[in-house]
Amino acid sequence: MLSAKIVDRVAPDAGGVKMMQVEIANGDILVDAILLGELLHIPPAEVSTLMRTRAITSVCERGIDAHRGEYRLSFFYQNRRARLSVDTAGHILKRSVIDFGQQPLPRALHRSGD
């Protein structure tokens, strides 16, 4: 079973310091709080607290058929849905955000597969 967790850290890179964005290890998918904060328009320092209090919710889907070896991570907060499609190495293949402005996010967008 996979679960999405949030981390706030940087990983060394040959060119200096590079932000780790998504890491898959031991059945967990780790997403950097800086990336998620950017996508959901919230300060990264608040991401962990908002997830613990379930103000930010998430869904993790494992790809099948043509998407085998990929994961789709969806995060929901107030009027925004952020999605990341990643491969098994954690490379981001696609990212998207839907923002409904002052309107609440429709319940239909909280379903997997949409």
Q: Which pLDDT belongs to residue 96?
A: 93
Predicted TM-score (pTM) of the model is: 0.76
Q: Which pLDDT belongs to residue 102?
A: 81
Mean pLDDT, the chain cut into blocks of 10 residues (114 residues total): 48 46 85 92 93 92 90 92 92 91 73 56
Q: Which of 86, 70, 71 is nearest to 21 (CA)?
A: 86
CA pair distance 13, 80, nearest whole angstrom: 32
Kind of pairing, strands 28-32 and 3-7? parallel
Q: Which pLDDT belongs to residue 13?
A: 45
List residues bridging with 46 in a β-sheet. Answer: none
Q: Which pLDDT belongs to residue 10?
A: 40
Q: Which pLDDT belongs to residue 11?
A: 41
Q: Which pLDDT belongs to residue 105?
A: 73
CATH class for the domain made up of 3-105: alpha beta
